Amino acid sequence: MTGGDPEGLGKLLGAAQADLHRPIDESGSALCHLDFQPFNVRVRDGEVTGIVDWSNARIGDCRDDIAWTQVAFELAPALLPDLAADVHAVMTGWRGGYAEHRRLPDDTELSPFLAYAAARQLADWDERFREDTSLADVAAAARDIRDRWRG
């Protein structure tokens, strides 16, 4: 979908992530990728053909995975400012695609998960920031997201 429909791409991503989150037991635990974002999903001819980079994956509460993905989308404009509108469209599509296949928790329900995901990403970006001062905006964005959801 390169050069195609960003919202359509987002819908594919959301549907794929919702499929991962099928409960595997009575507790509702599900497969969580924990780095689910466009660079880790392969799409060809309008279909998801693969999901890569499973190094953070585990079985757990799918809200952890949803929050990580949402924070990644919220940080993306700091990383890719020229693509901010496309990132927003992909995120809108992701929410819609997910919600078509599984209930998407609202931000109030996700709040503690979003704060934790932002803190995790902040720790990662702070480490990178020490090595590359051009990433200062990303670290600042991660701090803002963490503080907004920390409550």
CB 93 within 8 A of CB 8: yes
Q: What residues pair up with 48 in beta bridges, in sequence order?
A: 43
Q: What single DSSP character describes residue 2?
A: T
Give the per-residue pLDDT at 129: 63
Give the per-residue pLDDT at 1: 37
Averaged pLDDT score across all residues of the chain: 88
CA distance 14 to 97: 4
Note the pLDDT tens digit of each residue in 42-58: 999 989 999 999 999 99
Q: Where are the alpha helices (DSSP H) in the chain?
A: 6-20, 62-79, 84-101, 107-131, 136-150
What CATH number was assigned to the domain covering residues 6-150? 3.90.1200.10
Averaged pLDDT for residues 11-27: 96
In this predicted structure, the answer to whether residue 122 has a pLDDT above a threshold of 60 is: yes
Burial 78-116 (b: 16+ CB within 10 A, else e): beeeeeeebbbbbbbbbbebbeebbebeeeeebbebbbb
Sketch the domain layout of the chain as residue ranges. Answer: 6-150
- In this structure, what are the phi and psi dihedrals at residue 48, rounded to the nearest 5 degrees? -75, 120
pLDDT band at 2 (very low <50, low <70, confident <90, very high): very low
In this predicted structure, the answer to whether residue 143 has a pLDDT above a threshold of 70 is: yes
Question: Which pTM does this prediction carry?
Answer: 0.85
CB 125 within 8 A of CB 133: no
CB 129 within 8 A of CB 121: no
CA distances from 27 to 23, 34, 46, 57, 105 (A): 8, 19, 34, 18, 17
Note the pLDDT tens digit of each residue in 71-88: 999 888 887 888 889 999
